[in-house]
Amino acid sequence: MRPWLLSRLVNPGGAPTEAVLRRTIAGKTVLVTGASFGIGEACAQVLGAAGAHVLLMARSHDRLATVAESIRSAGGRATDYPIDLSDVDAVAAIAPRILAEHGAVDVLVNNAGKSIRRSLALSYDRFHDVERTIGVNYLGAARLVLALLPSMRARGRGHLINVATIGSRVPPGPRWGAYQASKTAFDVWFRSAGLEARLDGVATTSIYMALVYTRMSAPTPIFQRLPGLHPAEAAGLVARAIVDRPRVIAPWWIYPAELLSVALRDPLDALMERLYRRTADTPLAAQVDGGHPCRA
């Protein structure tokens, strides 16, 4: 059973009411990546119910169409764009089509992600683990921003939201190298781009999610015993970002954790090494082509 009270203590909150969200987003166009499952699906449903025209992007064609139809059946507006974000040429090609069909994108929610938890010993012949995580988590995400940002800057308004991970702000852990590196790469790129984009009226928000109970986190058994958020709660943080437009949303403890990670690096490394020795790869990680599923 989820430790509910502890989850409330360690995770940020503050989701706006539906009325407040509707006043902010109704009639606007919002693009959500990774919209077929998990956080992305929950975001699409919440934003569609609040009156936004939601553009859904993910590689799961049939599932994406189902989510879009459910929004339309509830009286909302939704258009699905099946695409694999790791195909940067396809991303570059679809962006002009989106702008031509909708005029502009008011909010981009970069949510799609791919997670892999696998030890180094199982990764010697799996360089594609590095390639596919960086393809979705960094290269595809950056290509989409570069394609949509010029129109936002030209209009002097817009909002870029990155659903990031606390893994970009805490010391690296064993087995998580490919995932943490790719998410951190985009996090740094996104923050740097924000320094320039905000001068032209485009807001940027980085949401540093801790644990969210999705199919991406499900293959790691210990996660089910830790405090976290359900997708609808995570979508509430995205809604808060849209309404308040802060630069950062993160758990309160991330800031002291960052300081301690610098001051106590050697002891923390020793702790991580001990943790690695006491744990094992999941059966899924040991499969020939295993790994955690894509959030898209």
Per the CB < 8 A criterion, the answer to whether 177 and 161 are in contact is: no
Residues 6+ apart with CB under 8 A from 252: 12
| Polymer length in residues for the chain | 296
- Residue 289 burial class via C-beta count within 10 angstroms: exposed 0-12, middle 13-18, buried 19 and up: exposed
H/E run at residue 66: helix 61-73
Q: From CA 68, how far away is CA 81, in angstroms rounded?
A: 10
* Catalytic residue flag (residue 208): no
Q: Do the beta carbons of residue 290 and residue 220 sit within 8 Å?
A: no
| Number of helical H runs and strand E runs in the chain | 12, 7
- Which of 81, 124, 138, 179 is an active site residue? 179
**Which of 199, 203, 220, 202 is closest to 211 using CA atoms?**
220
Coil, helix or strand at residue 270 = helix
**Which residues belong to the active site?**
179
